[in-house]
Chain A
Amino acid sequence: MSVTQQILIIVVVVAGTMITRFLPFLIFSQDKETPQYIKYLGYVLPSAVFGLLVVYALRNVSFTGFGSFLPESLAVGLIVILHYWKKNMLISIAGGTIFYMILVQFVFIY
């Protein structure tokens, strides 16, 4: 690929990304009243999307052996406990991540 072709690919990727970000705002402009159905979606979608993001972030976890999903399961479990106990975002995230790093670096070594 020549440099011009590379730049073209990057421009296309930028354009595609921006379409997905701007489209809802272009369709439902500020001046017109947003349809009831879209308002409803705007209200209920975040919860569902956060669920989707959790699954998306864990999408490459495989269930072929204990070592391949136990670190993730244990770390997510710890995050849930920490978060219900302390209700502090930073403690939950740091605790879960450090615990996961210890697990993959020292406990589940392959």
Chain B
Amino acid sequence: MTFDNHIATLKYAFPKTIPILAGFMFLGISYGIYMNSLGFGPAYAILMSIFIFAGSMEFVAGSLLLGPFSPLSAFFLTLMINARHLFYGIAMLDKFKDTGRKKTYLIYGMCDESFVINSTTDVPAYINKGWFMFYVTFLNQIYWVGGTTLGSLFSSAISFNTDGLEFVMVALFVVIFLDQWMKERYHVSSVIGVTSSVLCLALFGPDNFIIPAMILILVALSAIKRILEKREVIS
């Protein structure tokens, strides 16, 4: 990789991350303000954004710090909230192969949004896939840490009405889902993902549905493996 290659890769990666820039600036600022309102200094929000780098978990961690000291329950709560990363890892096993020393950072920085972009983008031949994924992950983390820093330092200075801006993350996920839907020949996996999640959301409520939904998705996908292989959906 020459310097020019790096610039070309960065130029290719940046536009893909613009929706995340908007979303993370907003959510990061919100997180900084939230931590400030709980009475924590800027260092807390900033360091947690750098080291945890998992948005929803950081909000939860803020409230954990105010509760009774219980590391074991904090640990299991973290595993439950972030269990979806296990699926991301399985899906990225092949794509992260041969990325060399960047691999550790790619795994460490694999938040929802980085996973979504890195798993769906087909890069052209002149772009190095490993470096592309690295820049996507790195830019996303800069946005998140940057937003958090701004929010925790200048929480009182924000005056423009941002109600509803948080919807940008919903919009991103819907668009990614639609993209995948238009690309795939059979929609069975997409349908399984949505129906399992909706069913478990109705049964277990918004705070507890992810693990049951993941189990249901695994069971359903395993059950149809034979059928899909017969129809040669997968090679």
- Which residues does A use to contact B, with CB under 8 Å? 1, 5-6, 8-10, 12-25, 28, 30, 34, 37-60, 71-72, 75-76, 79-80, 83-84, 87, 89-90, 92-94, 96-97, 100-105
Contact = CB atoms under 8 A, between A and B. Distances in A.
Instruction: Determine the main DSSP class of B at the interface with A.
Output: helix
Given A59-B209, A60-B206, A50 B116 contact: yes
B108 to A, nearest CB: 7
A78 to B, nearest CB: 10
Given A19-B79, A96-B167, A105-B163, A47 B84 contact: no
Contact of B57 (A17, A47, A84): A17
A57 B169 contact: yes
A60 B13 CA distance: 32
Contact of B64 (A9, A14, A92): A9
Contacts of A43: 234
B87 A45 contact: yes
Interface string B173-201: 11111111110100101111110111001
Contacts of B83: 20
Given A42-B93, A47-B180, A79 B171 contact: yes
Contact of A50 (B180, B218, B225, B228): B180
B93 A97 contact: no
B61 interface: yes
Interface of B: 15, 18-19, 22, 44, 47-48, 51-54, 57, 61, 64-66, 68-69, 71, 74-79, 82-94, 96-97, 103, 107-108, 110, 112, 116, 119-120, 161, 163-165, 167-182, 184, 187, 189-194, 196-198, 201, 206, 209-210, 213-214, 217-218, 221-222, 225, 228-229, 234
Contacts of B169: 57
B3 to A, nearest CB: 28
29 contacts: A1-B69, A5-B69, A6-B44, A10-B61, A12-B78, A13-B74, A13-B78, A25-B93, A34-B94, A37-B222, A40-B221, A42-B90, A42-B93, A45-B217, A47-B190, A50-B190, A52-B84, A52-B196, A56-B210, A57-B169, A59-B201, A79-B175, A83-B179, A84-B178, A93-B172, A94-B19, A96-B174, A97-B168, A101-B164
